[in-house]
Chain A
Amino acid sequence: MTSAGDQLLSFIRFLRGQDIPISPADSMDAVRVAGLLGYTQRDTLKHGLASVLAKSEREAAIYNRAFDRFFSTEIAVNPNAASTPDTSTGDGDGGSGDKDAANTDLNTFKQLQTDYPEAMNTDQATLAEALLRGEASTVALSIEAAATAVQLNGIKTFTQRGQYTRRMLDAIGEGGLRGLVIALETASDPRLPLVQQWRQVLRERIRDRVERAYLVNAGGATEELLDDALKEVRLGNVAPHQIQRMKKLMARLARKLAARHGQRRQQARRGQLHVPATLRRSLPTDGIPFQTRWRRTRRRRPQLLAICDVSGSVATYAKFLLMFLYTLQDVLPRTRSFAFSGKLGEVSDLFAQLPIEDAIDRVNLDYGGATDYARAFSEFSQLALQDINRNTTVVILGDARNSNSDPRLDLLAEIKARCRQLIWLNPEPRSAWGTRDSEMLPVIRHCHTAAECNNLKHLERIVDKLLADTKRP
């Protein structure tokens, strides 16, 4: 029971490493569930634990995979031994044949012990006997002891597995078996295959244990490390093989942000008395407040307009920004997006109709080309200036490089004057702003916020702030 209980706890630790939040209360529930259902019926246990540990479909998928890896059908200790001698109380046919085989093995073992006393000290003998008798608990116990001795929980990386397996084998005293094998080999003893088989079983058990330790202690940590690193990689440099991981990471960030900002507050329903208004209302009735006035929180309908440069140099960043904004559709209402390089056009419909990926490809196809900010601003003004009001946030993504022609910043100033917030995101590092044909320095003056945005960390911070601002009453 205790070893199974430990296994459950390390399973929970592993799930936590896989980004499934499991509270102490959840793990207590899991232990109670396991206590009720027992460890004998694997499927039942799987269903039962799922009900307390996996709380969404995403988590269920991770859980299922992890469970299968963790509670794999145990490797039989001795293929000939009856499964567990302490519980199987003579269950009739079938079992007896196996038992006979195990007894023969045991006799061979005793003989070996007398034949090669120097290779079999007492510790070895106990272990080997336990293996032979199929005493799973004794074997598990010595493996756990060895794990403690070599501090197996210190395992951090994939490459350490071999090293730890070796150390475990040494600690458990596999050296003796090795000596025995050599002795048998030189004597060309017919019992050699049998001993080799025991050795193999022991190795597999230990490799299994080390693998599990790696999953628990390092699996999650490595993932986290990779994710952290990826958050700081420039979006333009994300390698194709990392794209999948990147997308997962973005989806996770989006979920986090959505959860943080998604809670609707309905403060208006139970208002407080609006004393000044009530008094004002009472004037006609000689100061007797017949009609009451209540304070209410004004409901705003925030709107977001995103304008993205999709010319070659900035396209990748635009892609990620748009992807991020559209994953957040649930919490960011009324997003309209525009794309430009030569000409500018609204692409909101594309995103409504096509999957994000395809939409982005289409946008690049339709609007790619050399950048012309003057034309972009004037076309945007024609399209959307009418709709900009105090509830509108405008986000512009671009490098502000206009090939030395006038970018018509007066139009930008007009947009700023009408909207609640104008944010300019530039994928170039701050040090490059204003160099050569960059118009970024004058642009900053016409924005509420100008920020460098070229990795996921920047993007997360900016969108977080954006959500906080648009949600504020």
Chain B
Amino acid sequence: MIISQYPGLGDIDTITDNFEQAGYICTRRIATVVYLAAALNKPILVEGPPGVGKTELAKTCASVVARPLVRLQCYEGLDEAKALYEWKYGKQLLYTQVLKQQLAEILSGAVGLRDSMQRLHEFGDVFYSPEFLEPRPLLRALEQPDGAVLLIDEVDKADFEFESLLLEVLSDFQVSIPEIGTIEAKSKPIVFLTSNDTRDLSDALKRRCLHLHIPFPSLELERQIVTQRVPNASATLTDQLVRFVHAVRELDLKKAPAISESIDWAKALLLLHADQLDTHLVHDTLNVLLKYEEDVATAEGSLHKLLGPAVR
């Protein structure tokens, strides 16, 4: 058995229990992959439709292992200055000012150009040194002394070039800075990458990750999740709601409701003091579940057909 530096990820059953206590119900599949990631020190690439709990998985993992969560949200145009590191230009400018004043002191008594250069060399160059480095999320995650959970969210939104930038961090847990050299992780972080499948990721990136596809949950699992997240909702309501949502997912929609929508809807219904579904209630609150006007219209068109089996 490999002893991971992260507590609470020792074996698959422990992971399932710990995550459940932290409010995340994970399938055997998810627990297995998290276990492997911790044991093999490999990043996890989490894919699946929006709202099935990809980001939540990373957050829960951070709370289970009690390490800081470092999050990098990807978007088009994200570059190394925002993801890896940046120089503290202001401080560097100040440094040159200070240096100028000190220059006379350093060079006093030097005879000739050669001697002056020699003194300058001896002085040492701190202009490009870790003190002037402003760490961005990726570097910050590597610098955590006890490790961290690094979440690279929606990596498919970033540019193609950014993926190449990630490769070094993901496979060797190190960052190369031309002026300084290679900075290695103090302690290897647990890395989650999430993707919504808006485009195919490069093979190089895929190769470095463990793959985890989270689909929409089964009826039973979703009932558990909603109960866990909205414990005050009555069992009847939860049951009916989950059945209804599952029926809605069968429709031809622009965006099928995910778990997060189910939970939101359950919360909304709870606020309205509902303890079971009826046509009126659903009609009034359907916009919590469905985010497009067309989808709402589609669902309303077949409301009776959907609601019948759910309420049964």
Interface residues of A (CB under 8 A from B): 21, 23, 25-26, 29, 32-33, 36-37, 43-44, 47-48, 50-52, 54-57, 60, 259, 262-264, 266, 330
Which chain B residue lies CB-closest to A264?
A: B160
The yes or no answer to B33 lying at the interface (CB within 8 A) is yes
Task: Give 3 closest A-B pairs by Cβ, nearest first.
Answer: A51-B210, A47-B32, A47-B29
A78 CB to closest chain B CB (Å) equals 32
Q: Which residues of A contact B32 (CB under 8 A)?
A: 37, 44, 47-48, 51
The yes or no answer to B213 lying at the interface (CB within 8 A) is yes
**Interface residue total, chain B, C-beta cutoff 8 A:** 24
B247 CB to closest chain A CB (Å) equals 23
Within 8 A of A (CB), among B177-236: 199-200, 203, 206-207, 210-213
Judged by DSSP, the binding face of A is helix
Please determine whether B33 and A47 come into contact, CB atoms closer than 8 angstroms.
yes
Inter-chain CA distance A340–B48, complex, in Å, is: 42
Q: A44-B28, A264-B159, A266-B161 are in contact. Are A51 and B200 (CB under 8 A)?
A: no
Please determine whether B211 and A50 come into contact, CB atoms closer than 8 angstroms.
yes
Within 8 A of A (CB), among B119-175: 159-161
Proximity string of chain B (20-40) to chain A, C-beta cutoff 8 Å, 1 when within and 0 when not: 000000001100110110011
A22 CB to closest chain B CB (Å) equals 10
* 20 A–B contacts from the bound complex (CB under 8 Å): A33-B40, A36-B40, A37-B32, A37-B36, A44-B28, A47-B28, A47-B29, A47-B33, A48-B32, A48-B33, A48-B36, A51-B36, A51-B210, A51-B211, A51-B212, A54-B211, A55-B211, A57-B213, A264-B159, A264-B160
Identify which of A21, A54, A56, A259 gathers the most chain B CB atoms within 10 Å of its CB: A56
Q: Which residues of A contact B39 (CB under 8 A)?
A: 36
Which residue in A25, A26, A32, A51 is a CB contact (below 8 Å) of B33? A51
Which chain A residue lies CB-closest to B161?
A: A266
Q: Which residues of A contact B12 (CB under 8 A)?
A: 44
B54 CB to closest chain A CB (Å) equals 15
Q: Which residues of A contact B207 (CB under 8 A)?
A: 23, 25-26, 55
Which chain B residue lies CB-closest to A26?
A: B207
Inter-chain CA distance A26–B28, complex, in Å, is: 22
Within 8 A of A (CB), among B37-78: 39-40, 42, 44
Q: Which residues of B contact A43 (CB under 8 A)?
A: 28
The yes or no answer to B2 lying at the interface (CB within 8 A) is yes
Which residue in A25, A26, A36, A262 is a CB contact (below 8 Å) of B2? A36
Q: A25-B207, A57-B213 are in contact. Are A36 and B159 (CB under 8 A)?
A: no
Please determine whether A60 and B33 come into contact, CB atoms closer than 8 angstroms.
no
Inter-chain CA distance A44–B200, complex, in Å, is: 27
Please determine whether A52 and B210 come into contact, CB atoms closer than 8 angstroms.
yes
Q: Which residues of A contact B199 (CB under 8 A)?
A: 262, 330
